Amino acid sequence: MKIYNSYTDSLEEFQSIHPEKVNMYVCGPTVYNYIHIGNARPVVFFDTVRRYFEYKGYTVQFVSNFTDVDDKIIQKAMEDKIPELELSSFFIRAFMQDVEDLNCITDYKKPKVTDYMAPIIEYIDHLIQTGFAYQVDGDVYFRVSKIKDYGVLANRDVDEMIAGSRIEVNDQKENPLDFTLWKKTEDGIKFDAPFSLGRPGWHTECVVMIDDIFGEEIDIHGGGMGLKFPHHENEIAQAEATHHHHVARYWMHNGLLNFKDTKMSKSLGNVIFVKDVNEKMPLRYYLLSTHYRSPLVFTDDVFSMYVKEWEKLESAYRSVFYKLDLADTLNEDIQITDSAVLAEIQNFEEAMDNDFNTANAITALQSVLKIANVNLRKTNNDDLMNQIIVALELMTNVLGLRIDVSRISQEDRAVYQKWLQARTDKDYDLADQYRKELMEKGIL
């Protein structure tokens, strides 16, 4: 399979460091608010990446952090007059609820900055000892000039960045590009370190967590395009300083989500929270409808289109399922042998193998729906119908699209028989009554 590596800006054949195993880390949220649908994009996408690797037979160790120490958290906590940890734990729970509602796998490791304070301090201290960092009046900065590859990930020329800077230079730094490892603070939660009473910078946590949990370079590091610079660049700089590798073999960055014509961001205030979107599966479907590296535009009209497509998927799947269930011929242990269905599974895998092209994978899914609908009214094709169910399940599992169906109860079966009988009797008033009941349950 091929993955687009942001570090080299090219499509590369994926080769895991350890056979049959994928170690991946995705930058998680700073927990001071609910997440919006733009924040949900990497969450859903990298969950899908994980699912596909598992489908391919890999064991995936998936890690995603929570940044629970940060200026924004401190500020919000002060506004709300509650302790920082109370605020962050509230939004961690809210995040997990959203993640679960989006049908993401939730049993992954979720380290928090507050759990890693000692190793982070130790790590910063080590950088100072080795000359990669320096202290100025209680603050600690990373010495970027020591890293010769700095700027490779973000594809930036260091000299140009300095020349083009329009931001006021912090004259405490040796070099304007140096970034904060530790910040001496007056307000809010503070931690005791040899440098000062303060809090860590944002860029160190991921490196320390990855080192602690994986103990070596990992296969994949993911996150939003917006994190590429400076966050990921700085992670790499630190890893080069201490571990002499680039954190990950493959860096993956998803495109941002725009709301109408600008990006959706908390600071612009044009956000739609995940928790406020009722149609969670259509949301997931929408987020996967475009290749992950392309920008995605959200408007109500576009979203309603995906709500509709989702309903088509759901209704076709249910129709096939209930057809088999009513005939008592449901059999999900069947082998797929139908050439058309097999071809679509192959298309699906080829799409996913090609840098997780979920847009094309969805096309394969839709083709299976077509096969289902075309054959739904035919008889004596239970075998094919069962193969379709298996194929749909395979695809929707990889994409994380959950369709709720359950076996039809005895009572509903009776209603179904009565409906058929009433139609045979041409008693349409009665038939319509039964039909309404069955439709409300989604059986028809």
- Which residues between 224 and 253 bind RNA (CB under 7 A)? 224-227, 229-231
Contact with RNA (CB under 7 A): which of 210, 316, 389, 443? 316
Binding piece for RNA, criterion CB under 7 A, among 103-111, 119-127, 155-163, 383-391: 155-163
| Torsion angle of C-alpha atoms 383, 380, 395, 59, degrees rounded to 10 | -10
> Would you say 282 or 400 has its CB closer to RNA?
282
Q: How far is the CB of 156 from RNA (least distance, A)?
A: 6
Q: Taking the complex as a whole, how short is the minimal distance between the CB of residue 440 and RNA, in angstroms?
A: 12
- The alpha carbon of residue 15 and the mean position of all alpha carbons in its chain are separated, in whole angstroms, by 22
Q: How far is CA 229 from CA 26, 202, 211, 311, in A?
A: 15, 13, 21, 39
378 sits near RNA (criterion: CB under 7 A):
no
Closest approach of RNA to the CB of residue 223, in Å: 9
Q: How far apart are CA 177 and CA 146, in angstroms?
A: 11
Of the listed pieces 101-109, 160-168, 246-254, 269-277, which binds RNA according to CB under 7 A? 160-168
Residue-wise over 274-307: b if at least 16 C-beta within 10 A, else e?
beebeebbbbbbbbbebbbbeebebeeeebeebe
| 382 sits near RNA (criterion: CB under 7 A) | no
Q: Is residue 30 part of the contact set for RNA (CB under 7 A)?
A: yes
DSSP secondary-structure letter at 191? E
Strands 2-5 and 10-13 come out as antiparallel
Among 50, 173, 221, 284, binds RNA (CB under 7 A): 173
- What's the CA gap between 359 and 309, in Å, rounded? 13
Pairing of strands 257-259, 262-263: antiparallel
Binding-site member from 169, 197, 414, 420 for RNA (CB under 7 A): 169
In this chain, which of 201, 222, 282, 400 binds RNA, going by CB under 7 A?
Answer: 201
48-56, 115-123, 236-244, 260-268 -> range binding RNA (CB under 7 A): 260-268
Residue 411 interacts with RNA (CB under 7 A): yes or no: no
Please pick, from the candidates 5, 180, 238, 387, the single residue that binds RNA as defined by CB under 7 A.
180
Cβ of residue 56: shortest distance to RNA, in angstroms?
19
Q: Of the candidates 413, 435, 405, which has an alpha carbon nearest to the alpha carbon of residue 317?
A: 405
CB closer to RNA, 108 vs 259: 259
Q: Is 151 helix (H, G, I), strand (E, B) or coil?
A: coil
Please give the Cα distance from 35 to 65 (Å, whole number): 14
185 makes contact with RNA (CB under 7 A): no
How many alpha carbons lie under 13 Å from residue 428 in its C-beta half-sphere?
Answer: 0
Tell me 274's DSSP state. G
Does the protein bind RNA through residue 261 (CB under 7 A)?
yes
Does residue 333 interact with RNA by CB under 7 A?
Answer: no
Interface with RNA, residue 290, by CB under 7 A: yes
Q: Which residues pair with 421 in a beta bridge?
A: none
User: Does 188 interact with RNA (rule: CB under 7 A)?
Assistant: no
Two structure tokens written together for 252:
């993956």
CB of 181 to RNA, least distance (A): 8
CB 164: neighbour CB atoms within 10 A? 9
CB-nearer residue toward RNA: 153 or 248: 153
Contact stretch for RNA (CB under 7 A) within 53-61, 76-84, 91-99, 179-187: 179-187
Least distance to RNA from the beta carbon of 409, Å?
A: 21
74-113 residues in contact with RNA (CB under 7 A) are none
What kind and span of H or E run contains 199? strand 197-200
Contact residue for RNA among 21, 308, 402, 407 (CB under 7 A):
308
**Least gap, CB of 48 to RNA (angstroms):** 14
Nearer to RNA, 59 or 165 (CB): 165
The whole-angstrom separation of Cα 209 and Cα 119 is: 9
- Asked if residue 30 lies in contact with residue 69, where contact means CB atoms within 8 angstroms, the answer is no
